[in-house]
Chain A
Amino acid sequence: MDQSAAAADERAQAAFARYVLPEIEVLYRVALSITAQPADAEDLVQDTLLRAYRAVERFDGTHARAWLLTILRNTEINRHRRRRPDLLDDPDAQLERHEGRGPFSAPAPGPEELVVEQVFDKVVDEALAALPVKHRQVVQLVDIDGLTYAEAATLLEVPEGTVMSRLHRARKRIRDRLAAAGLAPTRSGR
């Protein structure tokens, strides 16, 4: 290997260590949120890290997480281009259909000996699982994975306002389900 190639490798390795290594956990959390299986998430992050390594010399050093989320998103689309254009769908019609079915029936109450917090968590889990996939994704990205609205918007390639409206509507559904179970105050027109 000649000296200039060796120097380029050293620069790439240093930039990779500086910008990419600190984000691996976030990338894996996000990958878990947008893939069906944990093994898929691990493969996706591994492919993302390889692509990031190859691109890191051209990276300008600003907003590393947003840059990596874009790579992760493109990697995921390439992996599933033929069978799952899912990330790009508009989910709002789907949510309307959900809402058209009327209020959720109250889930069966947990055994009395369960503490309220456990019942609360269970209802939240059920409500999350009942959300349309796009709304659930935004909740996972912001509340579970810790992304900002802007970072989630970068990942999903939608405007920040779309992230906000999906997230807020999704949380309202969760909140309504809690209210139906007697675990949150009933909402008055909000």
Chain B
Amino acid sequence: MSAMSDRARRMREMRECMHVGPKLQAYLDGEVDDATVERVAAHLEYCRKCGLELAAYRAIKHALGQRQQPADDALARLRSFGEQLAATGPEPPADA
């Protein structure tokens, strides 16, 4: 391969980095269209820099996702309240 075509390929890859980089987070969140999914995935096959970037965001998202479990007792009370509404409607006022 000539030096010229090698340079052209590197330029293309850099342009692709600039296009894909800002979309990595939305890609991770599943918030991009199918064409963008394909384009990002194709770029990640050869671009180590974007691959590391995505891995960092994926690790952050994973750490955050495990962060908060709602208190079981509060959730159980709310479910029971909801099930009571679904079964009998709201309680009438005490003086009704």
Interface assignment of A156: CB less than 8 Å from any CB of chain B: no
Interface assignment of A21: CB less than 8 Å from any CB of chain B: yes
Take A25-B70, A175-B57 as given contacts and tell me if A121 and B78 are in contact as well, using a CB distance cutoff of 8 Å.
Answer: no
Among B71, B82, B90, max chain A CB count under 10 A is at B82
Task: Give the interface residue-count category, chain A.
Answer: 35 or more
CB-CB under 8 A from A13, the residues of chain B are 85-89
Take A20-B82, A29-B68, A49-B85 as given contacts and tell me if A171 and B60 are in contact as well, using a CB distance cutoff of 8 Å.
Answer: yes
Interface assignment of A71: CB less than 8 Å from any CB of chain B: no
Q: Are A149 and B70 neighbours in the complex by a CB distance under 8 Å?
A: no
A13 to B86, CA, bound (A): 4
List 19 additional A-B contacts (Cβ < 8 Å) besides A17-B86, A178-B56: A14-B86, A21-B86, A24-B79, A27-B78, A38-B71, A41-B74, A49-B78, A49-B82, A120-B63, A121-B63, A121-B67, A124-B64, A142-B29, A143-B64, A164-B31, A171-B25, A171-B57, A171-B60, A187-B53
The 9 tightest CB contacts between A and B, nearest first, are A143-B64, A17-B86, A184-B56, A124-B63, A168-B25, A16-B86, A185-B52, A42-B74, A190-B21
Interface assignment of B61: CB less than 8 Å from any CB of chain A: yes
CB nearest to A23 among chain B residues: B82
A9 to B64, CA, bound (A): 41
Interface assignment of A115: CB less than 8 Å from any CB of chain B: no
Q: Are B25 and A21 neighbours in the complex by a CB distance under 8 Å?
A: no
A42 to B40, CA, bound (A): 41
Take A28-B70, A175-B56 as given contacts and tell me if A148 and B86 are in contact as well, using a CB distance cutoff of 8 Å.
Answer: no
CB-CB under 8 A from A121, the residues of chain B are 63, 66-67
CB-CB under 8 A from A17, the residues of chain B are 86
A49 to B77, CA, bound (A): 12
Q: Which of A53, A140, A144, A164 contacts B26 (CB 8 A)?
A: A164
CB nearest to B77 among chain A residues: A42
Interface assignment of A69: CB less than 8 Å from any CB of chain B: no
| Least CB distance, B67 to chain A, in whole angstroms | 6
